[in-house]
Amino acid sequence: MSGFDLSRGMPDLARRRVPDADLRVADLAAPLPYADAAFDDVVVSLVLHHLEDWVPSLAELRRVLRPGGRLLISVDHPFAMHMIHRAEGRRTNYFETYNYTETWDYSGEPVEMSFWNRPLHAMTNAFTAAGFTVAEIAEPFPVPEAQAKFPEHYAALTTSPSFLFFVLTA
Highest mean pLDDT among 71-75, 90-94, 109-113, 159-163: 71-75
Q: Mean pLDDT for the chain?
A: 93
For the chain, the straight-line distance linking the first and the last C-alpha, in angstroms and rounded, comes to: 20
Specify the pTM. 0.88
The answer to whether 100 and 90 are in contact (CB under 8 A) is: yes
Residue 157's pLDDT is: 84
Q: Is the pLDDT of residue 161 over 90?
A: no
Q: Is the pLDDT of residue 1 over 90?
A: no
Domain range summary for the chain, segments of one domain joined by +: 34-77+118-169
The band of 166, judged by pLDDT with boundaries at 50, 70 and 90, is very high
Residue 119 DSSP SS3:
coil
d(CA 80, CA 103): 19
Domain at 34-77+118-169: CATH architecture: 3-Layer(aba) Sandwich (3.40)
CB proximity list for 126: less than 8 A, separation 6 or greater: 54, 55, 58, 118
Tens-digit pLDDT profile for residues 28-64: 989 999 999 999 999 999 999 999 999 999 999 999 9
Mean pLDDT of 138-160: 89
Phi, psi of 42 (to 5 degrees): -130, 135
d(CA 88, CA 82): 10
Mean pLDDT of 17-23: 92
